[in-house]
Structure 1
Amino acid sequence: MTTVNRDGADSVEMLELAEGMYRDVADELQLAMENLRAGDLAEAKTARAAMRDLRAAMQLVLEERTRVDKLRQDAIGAVDGRRLDFAAARSEIGRRLACLRDAGAG
């Protein structure tokens, strides 16, 4: 199940987009680091910018992953990380109703 978040974008698609951005920035950072090692000091500014972008992309990935996990838990009816047992709940409700009927009849 996919759910639309408040921005109107599909959460799973947002997660995939964020992961793609993360990979792109990581590649850019790796290239800048290789150029720095080769002695190209002009790449230092690019490397800093790539690291900042990488941090932002990683934060976005983590936030979207959290949203997707919550949506999955909501979809299966989980509460506090546990699934709800609707059959047991139905049985308990029936048992309590029977107790009320018995108490009212006497």
Structure 2
Amino acid sequence: MAIDHSHGDRPKDALLQAAREQFERTRRQLRDVLARIEAGEAAAVAQLETARQQLSKSLTNAIQEESRFEEFCKAERGAVHGHAIDFDAARAEIGRRLARLRDSGGGGGVSGRPE
């Protein structure tokens, strides 16, 4: 099953963007609560811990989504265990090995019959 990338947005892109937007909204809410506290609004003090917890959760979520997105991108590029597969180098190595086999084989080829 193929994933349609024609719109330029992958599902992981959307999840990462949503996590970042959630983090930014939560940051703005925390700044608003702090501004209200600085303005002397006593009721805002009670909201401070809730806002801090939400910011912490949003940050954790954004970090996790960025990590998942990076893994998704590596998998899409063909990375295995953090290293991308270099198909050109692999092709060249196979060519070298085949050439050595040809050079050492005497040119008889494979007959399919026992010798």
* TM-score normalised according to structure 1 size: 0.76
Q: Does 1:36 align with 2:37?
A: yes
Task: Please state how far the C-alpha of 1:51 moved relative to its aligned partner.
Answer: 0.8
Structure number with the higher helix fraction is 1
Equivalent residue, structure 2, for 1:76:
77
Task: Please state how far the C-alpha of 1:101 moved relative to its aligned partner.
Answer: 5.1
Number of matched pairs: 100
- Partner Cα distance (1:21, 1:14) in 2: 11
Note the aligned Cα RMSD (angstroms). Answer: 2.6
Q: Which amino acid aligns with 1:95?
A: R
Structure 2 gap ranges (5+): 5-10, 108-115
Task: Please state how far the C-alpha of 1:104 moved relative to its aligned partner.
Answer: 5.6
- Partner Cα distance (2:20, 2:88) in 1: 39
- Partner Cα distance (1:68, 1:35) in 2: 36
* TM-score normalised according to structure 2 size: 0.71
Identity of aligned residues (%): 31
Q: Which amino acid aligns with 2:40?
A: G
DSSP-derived class of the 2:31 partner: helix
Q: Which amino acid aligns with 1:67?
A: R
| Structure index of larger Rg | 2
**Structure 1 stretches of 4+ moved >6 Å:** none
Q: Deviations over 1:6-65 (max 9, x none)?
A: xxxx22111111111111111111111111112222211211101100110011111111
